[in-house]
Amino acid sequence: MSRTDPELHESVEGAAADIASMEIRGAATIADAAAEALAAQAEDSDADDPDEFRAEMRAAARRLRETRPTAVSLPNSLRYVLRGMDGETVPELRESVVESAREFRRELDQAQENLGRIGANRLRDGDTVMTHCHSTDALSCVEKALEQGKDISAIVKETRPRKQGHITARQLREWDVPVTLVVDNAARRYLDEVDHVLVGADSIAADGSVINKVGTSGLAVNARERGVPIMVAAQTLKLHPDTMTGHTVEIEMRDEREVLTEDEEAEINGDADGEGFAVENPAFDVTPPRYVDAIVTERGQFPPESIVTLMRELFGDQQGGEPWEE
């Protein structure tokens, strides 16, 4: 932080640290936490004048923005809340930010509900889904299918290195869904027993590419080879506006210690002198649109190639820089 940066509320610093460490994780959950943190900053601000208040909010948004680069739900959330900031006085500005954050969080919940209902229509009674990682959007489809009285089973991929598959398994068991947990490398073997691959997304690009937890693209290629449809559950908050103008989505590279402990590394190195070896830990990968059957949003389901039409509708009139950079 530079000396001129305003002081940030503990909720902002706390949320930023928790997002970076993945204590708070999952694209929608990150967006929700970011909006909540901005509201806390606004509520407790002791800014003396409107300019100071605005500068404080921009600094808070920048701090949250720099935590993780891939899930576009994070900047989309910050943009939504800051664009709602309006007023001549500090109390007016404060109220507008709090209300904007509240509205964002309400819409996020509603979108997930609506998406779930649409996604559930793709699932038939007795179907088995294969999941990768943990996605609240994807699980919403299962939840709604269960509410429709359908029996659904799941083959849950463990999802190395952080094993978010365990979170998915726990949630599904709470709903009494029969679960088989498999290591990632076993996925292809089990695809013959599966009716749908069901995953979430961290970002969707304008060409319909799906950016999701690393391993999704290999799963999609294998599923296509086996004739299993691939369904991506992603509310429109996951659509990446910058990709409409040719930008690519940055893939987060995480700490190598998530993959290999120091002791394990020492063991591999043995008595060898000199340089160690490289460990890479990309958190996400890109699944090309040709491997995706449907992107399910709260506005309906789309073949990936047509997602750009929806993006033009949603982002077409958005111009200029980011509100936290003004």
Residue pair 50/97 in contact (Cβ under 8 Å)? The answer is no
- Kindly list the distances between the CA atom of residue 275 and the CA atoms of 237, 269, 270, 278, in Å, as whole numbers in the listed order: 44, 9, 12, 9
State which residue, 20 or 47, has the beta carbon closest to ligand RI2: 20
Which residues lie closer than 8 Å to 156 by C-beta, 6 or more apart? 130, 131, 165, 168, 169, 172, 179, 180, 181, 182
Instruction: State the binding site.
Output: 25-28, 68, 212-213, 238
State which residue, 210 or 228, has the beta carbon closest to ligand RI2: 210
Binding of residue 122 to ligand RI2 (CB under 6 A): no
Question: Which of 60, 68, 58, 106 has the alpha carbon at shortest distance from 203?
Answer: 68
Q: Judged by CB under 6 A, which of 8, 15, 27, 210 binds ligand RI2? A: 27
* Joined tokens for residue 60: 């808070």
Binding of residue 32 to ligand RI2 (CB under 6 A): no
Residue type, 262: E
Question: Which of 174, 82, 77, 183 has the alpha carbon at shortest distance from 130?
Answer: 183
| Token pair 């869904």: residue | 177
String marking each residue 267-286 x if it binds ligand RI2 according to CB under 6 A: ----------------x---
Sign of CA dihedral 207, 208, 213, 219: negative
Q: Judged by CB under 6 A, which of 32, 36, 56, 137 binds ligand RI2? A: 137
Stretch that binds ligand RI2, among 6-14, 19-27, 83-91, 263-271 (CB under 6 A): 19-27
We find the least distance from the C-beta atom of residue 258 to ligand RI2, in angstroms, to be: 11
Binding of residue 158 to ligand RI2 (CB under 6 A): no
Active site residue 202: yes
Binding of residue 202 to ligand RI2 (CB under 6 A): yes
> Which residues of this protein are in contact with ligand RI2, per CB under 6 A?
25-29, 133, 135-138, 164, 199-200, 202, 212-213, 283
Catalytically active residues, by annotation? 133, 202
